[in-house]
Structure 1
Amino acid sequence: MSLDDLNREQKRHLKKMGALDDKGKVQKQQRQQPKKKQDRVGPVQYLREVRDEMRKVAWPQRPAIVRYSIVVLVTVIVYTALVGGLDYFFGKLAEWFYST
């Protein structure tokens, strides 16, 4: 397979990996040493990083939370009624079918 057989996305990926130079020529790559296992961070550092990441989250506003909660509650009630009604119907059907 030659470079002419590759599409732009494949060439971009190879360039990003370092297999191609800026002109699109094949570049011999040095073998990378396996990465050493990183040391664990302490609980204080972990909590600090969690706090920093949680600050980046785009939290919904109160009206959106109320609206979503109402949608979830109505959906749960409807499906509960549906399953309960079907259970009742099939129970009566089975009772009629198996009665002597």
Structure 2
Amino acid sequence: MNREQKRMLQRQGQMGADGSAGSRRTSVDDVQRRRSGERTRPRDFVRQVREEMRQVAWPTRPEVVNYTTIVLFVLVFMTALIFGLGVGSEKFVSFLFTK
């Protein structure tokens, strides 16, 4: 480990000045949750979920239609390809065993 890496780890609190492993930094929320010993209440959980869902980049209707069309086209193509390979291999095997 070079000097720059050691300095970075010391700044992050993961390494002591003497090179020994330091304690891992924790966020303020983690520390408070550990101290209080409380669990998240269901109301808080639902509120946090709703906040996160608002931040999701939902696709627009044209994007959904476009992606659905592509998926259906690929599905039909792959089904036809696998069906064709199955029929072709069946014909080939029956040709080999009839002679």
TM-score, with structure 2 as normaliser: 0.66
Structure 1: stretches of 5+ with no match in the other structure: 21-25
Residue-by-residue CA offset, 1:16-62 (whole Å, 9 max, x unaligned): 23536xxxxx2788767xx85x6443443332222221111011111
What amino acid is aligned across from residue 82 of structure 1 in structure 2? L
| 1:10–1:86 distance in 2 versus 1, CA, 3 Å | farther
User: 1:68, CA displacement in angstroms?
Assistant: 0.7
Q: Give distance in 2, aligned partners of 1:81 and 1:10.
A: 59
Q: Give distance in 2, aligned partners of 1:79 and 1:10.
A: 54
| SS of match in other structure, 1:60 | coil
Alignment length (residue pairs): 89
Structure 2: stretches of 5+ with no match in the other structure: 25-30
> Larger % of helix: which?
2
TM-score, with structure 1 as normaliser: 0.65
Q: Percent identity?
A: 28
1:6 is matched with 3
In angstroms, what is the RMSD of aligned CA positions?
3.3
